[in-house]
Structure 1
């Protein structure tokens, strides 16, 4: 029998064999999941290619406009949109608690695998027990009382920031000009230096140098090199969030003939090298003062069994601190400058509040001066809402029992997400002026609006660094708004990796009388 089959195959044209094989592969990869595995999702609208393949979302993520694209789809199709064969985006605030809440049974999807390095950190760990262990060990270091101990070091960096901007003003004034520059660069410098100081007991030195530079090492004992950290983080965010759509491509990405992938893979590796160098520098040259920075707190932390974090875990958490503590703060600080400069009446009201709270002649306000200012709080909340630094939906995988969300049942293995950009711009939630910057909306929030405001996510996987971010942003905003007038030289245009980041923000500044 076998020989007769082989003999019969000799009579089949090669093209027919290849076509048959290709058909079988296509059926297994695309048609079978659509017709069988995820047949219950067939009625959910979305791009045709997205129903059969991960390629559609892969291309959208790579384009840098995922949140806006998904928002357009929801405006066209409604609550449910199919982004991948196994991924449904749900644009409804009623879906937030069932998917992300403390009692939700969903887990982080394989999307997060591309963010992991030698060890998982608090952000990309998928196992619930591992996440609970890590969060318990790290929680004390991010408590508000602990974070407030870092204020003197934030103040030192902001003093350098003011010194640099005053220098730019004075140099331009000597030529009867106003200095014009990309404010995003300076917010990057400030945010990086702050997280460096808080996490490792020493700033990266970007504000003092007025340059984007960080130390890199391949191993704790190798010779250090230096490279632009902001550029590395930007490229790394773009590549990992794109490869996260098809994580099977990760081992082969450096072979793809497109600089987006080759440079992105290099950036991903270089970010790991920054983490190694930061940890190594901190361990070999601890701060001269008695401060307990975040890394030292992580070293001292023990889990329920009395075990500390391992060396690879420390490096992984260092990477999480660098990315989570720098990119979001700089992006949002840049956005708030844009919206305040675009709305001079709002900026005037903020300055009136700052003038009452900050003594005349103060270069850098203290935390005590600004922490409870109501209008400052409203301005920042409105910026988080309208800009939405984390705009894309965070994917969660449905557990073995399935789940019903917004009246619809989803079987095990399906991925669900709630797009925060769309939720933050939903007119049904925020009113007809949802697309407008209006801090006054925070005077009388409804309960629904409170629950729909998710800039730091919600539930057990919510951002652990929220206290740090809010403290930094209030101090940064109060410092520049109280001291400088700004004029916009361009509109705000954003590009999205994992975060929505301004491309730049050219401004002119002058010192206020």
Structure 2
């Protein structure tokens, strides 16, 4: 009887628990449904007239799903092709492809602020990129802006030139190696290539090494050493111990993770790691990337008598709101911002500039003619002064940034009041990212690579819809430095090496989007120029 009573008691307890669980689920579902229906009803007369996916009207899950799998930019581009300038991509978010909306959403004096999307990018402390408070951003920008002035970046040129020289020495070695060393993806007749001196390799990792070593030298006073080793590796501080991990891989995983987290409903973010292990790996990458910045800052702070005029030195002279120097956590956060902003962006853009140029033989020939006519026969590092005024080089860079935006995910802003653009009303407190260049989004020929468009009489009109570094008070503070690097890198490698595609019929490079849009690889044939 005792056994029977225990079993009966247990059975009753289980039934009670199941009943409570069932009611909890029902109440939760009812609450969630009420929340979304109420939100939908509240917004019904505000933006429900904007077209978009049905599920996006009720939940950010639609947006989070497509961000998670790295094709958000492609899906939203297709929606713009179907629906026009405005597409609703979340209950309170519009994607806008309208040049007239740039000033409204991103311009000075609009009062727009960054959305909660950026909270997902905060690691140790809010930095210049992810702070949402306007006063805090103004303080940070005042500290850092002089560092990236046109005058200041000229002090960085010797460091960039030194790293580029290291890159050339390494690439000369690679050019002399057999194809089998770096060619893990045969795409052409290897024997014929060997006879003609061509070497085949995926050049994307090498652009990554170059960009990481440049920003390492500029931000922390020394290169990571990726170029010399030909390996993706950097020191990471973890619980007082320094480990050596793949920094580029960590950066990529962190970007995809943070962009996805920022696109999901805020209430779901802490629990996604229990649903999909991909989120656990992403969270680990966030910590590891912070560890890289922490390790580099600690190494630099431990050195005395430094006289270098680099990014970290200038950050150390900054002050907080009370006039005190930046605390260590804030210093690490800003150093982390520079590491992220100055590595993947440069490598992605450098890679795409090269690929688009050699993909179009007429462009490549015209560009090489300009370089040879203006730079002579010397095939060393090309200076900023010698490259910045080359018109066709500038046109090729602009055309690449137009087609392959560094970040095509959009930069969400919260509109403080109803605004007007060409008779269109934007509701208050709505997010409004503007992905890609509007001219690219809305024209069928937008993805045709034609640098000449930037040399035509109406080029100034095109520039109004071309903001590769964003615009307004939250525009990219490192624009001058980024352009210096792109001029010097592109001119230097094209002057020294001859390039071709192993597969000339390849229509475009496959890309994946985290926060940045990144090619998965970039296979090229190259050799030292004979002339």
TM-score by length of 2: 0.88
Q: Which residue of 1 aligns with 2:450?
A: 438
User: Which of 246, 255, 264 is the aligned partner of 2:274?
Assistant: 255
1:61 aligns with 2:67: yes
Inter-partner Cα distance in structure 2 for 1:462 and 1:387: 18
**Post-superposition CA distance 1:18-54 (Å, at most 9, x none):** 6752452232332111112554222221101000111
Cα drift, residue 122 of structure 1? 0.5
Q: Which residue of 2 aligns with 1:370?
A: 387
For 1:408-447, list aligned pairs within 5 A: 408-427=424-443, 433-444=445-456, 445-447=458-460
User: Which of 334, 338, 346 is the aligned partner of 1:329?
Assistant: 346
**Post-superposition CA distance 1:291-313 (Å, at most 9, x none):** 21111101112357533222111
Q: Which residue of 1 aligns with 2:220?
A: 200
Q: Which residue of 1 aligns with 2:39?
A: 33
Inter-partner Cα distance in structure 1 for 2:43 and 2:27: 21
Q: Which residue of 1 aligns with 2:10?
A: none
Inter-partner Cα distance in structure 1 for 2:488 and 2:143: 28
User: Which of 347, 351, 368 is the aligned partner of 1:351?
Assistant: 368
Inter-partner Cα distance in structure 2 for 1:34 and 1:127: 28
**Post-superposition CA distance 1:205-225 (Å, at most 9, x none):** 111111111110136xx1211
Cα drift, residue 195 of structure 1? 0.6
Q: Is 1:106–1:396's contact at 8 Å kept on the other side of the alignment?
A: yes
Aligned-partner SS, 2:343: helix
Inter-partner Cα distance in structure 1 for 2:354 and 2:495: 12
For 1:56-95, list aligned pairs within 5 A: 56-95=62-101
Aligned-partner SS, 1:420: coil
**Post-superposition CA distance 1:382-401 (Å, at most 9, x none):** 110011121122111122x4
**Post-superposition CA distance 1:114-157 (Å, at most 9, x none):** 00112100000001111000000001111111111111111111
Number of aligned residue pairs: give it.
Answer: 493
Cα drift, residue 316 of structure 1? 0.5
Which is worse superposed, 490-499 or 222-231? 490-499
Q: Tell me, which stretches of 5 or more residues in structure 1 are unaligned?
A: 1-9
Q: Which residue of 2 aligns with 1:45?
A: 51
Which is worse superposed, 140-149 or 39-48? 39-48
Q: Which residue of 2 aligns with 1:7?
A: none
For 1:3-22, list aligned pairs within 5 A: 17=23, 20-22=26-28
**Post-superposition CA distance 1:262-284 (Å, at most 9, x none):** 21111111111111011111111
**Structure 1's 368 and 36: CA in aligned 2 closer, same or farther, altered over 3 A?**
closer
User: Which of 167, 184, 188 is the aligned partner of 2:208?
Assistant: 188
Inter-partner Cα distance in structure 1 for 2:53 and 2:453: 35
**Structure 1's 183 and 196: CA in aligned 2 closer, same or farther, altered over 3 A?**
same
For 1:458-497, list aligned pairs within 5 A: 458-489=471-502, 491=506, 492-497=509-514
Q: Is 1:67–1:421's contact at 8 Å kept on the other side of the alignment?
A: no
Cα drift, residue 351 of structure 1? 1.3
Inter-partner Cα distance in structure 2 for 1:501 and 1:204: 21
Q: Is 2:99–2:438's contact at 8 Å kept on the other side of the alignment?
A: no
Cα drift, residue 372 of structure 1? 1.4
Inter-partner Cα distance in structure 2 for 1:441 and 1:265: 43
Inter-partner Cα distance in structure 2 for 1:73 and 1:54: 16
Q: Is 2:395–2:452's contact at 8 Å kept on the other side of the alignment?
A: yes
Which is worse superposed, 229-238 or 145-154? 145-154
Q: Is 2:345–2:406's contact at 8 Å kept on the other side of the alignment?
A: yes
Q: Tell me, which stretches of 5 or more residues in structure 2 are unaligned?
A: 1-15, 181-193
Aligned-partner SS, 2:118: helix
Cα drift, residue 181 of structure 1? 1.4
Q: Is 2:118–2:132's contact at 8 Å kept on the other side of the alignment?
A: yes
Cα drift, residue 248 of structure 1? 2.9
User: Which of 385, 388, 400 is the aligned partner of 1:383?
Assistant: 400
**Structure 1's 457 and 129: CA in aligned 2 closer, same or farther, altered over 3 A?**
same
Inter-partner Cα distance in structure 2 for 1:240 and 1:123: 13
**Structure 1's 118 and 51: CA in aligned 2 closer, same or farther, altered over 3 A?**
same
RMSD after superposition: 2.2
Cα drift, residue 89 of structure 1? 1.3
Cα drift, residue 380 of structure 1? 0.5
1:402 aligns with 2:422: no
Q: Which residue of 2 aligns with 1:308?
A: 325
Cα drift, residue 61 of structure 1? 0.6
Inter-partner Cα distance in structure 1 for 2:60 and 2:237: 35
**Post-superposition CA distance 1:169-223 (Å, at most 9, x none):** 222389756322111100000000111111111111111111111110136xx12
Cα drift, residue 421 of structure 1? 4.6
User: Which of 268, 272, 282 is the aligned partner of 2:300?
Assistant: 282
Cα drift, residue 433 of structure 1? 3.5
**Structure 1's 507 and 286: CA in aligned 2 closer, same or farther, altered over 3 A?**
farther
Q: Is 1:201–1:287's contact at 8 Å kept on the other side of the alignment?
A: no
Q: Which residue of 2 aligns with 1:239?
A: 257
Cα drift, residue 287 of structure 1? 7.9
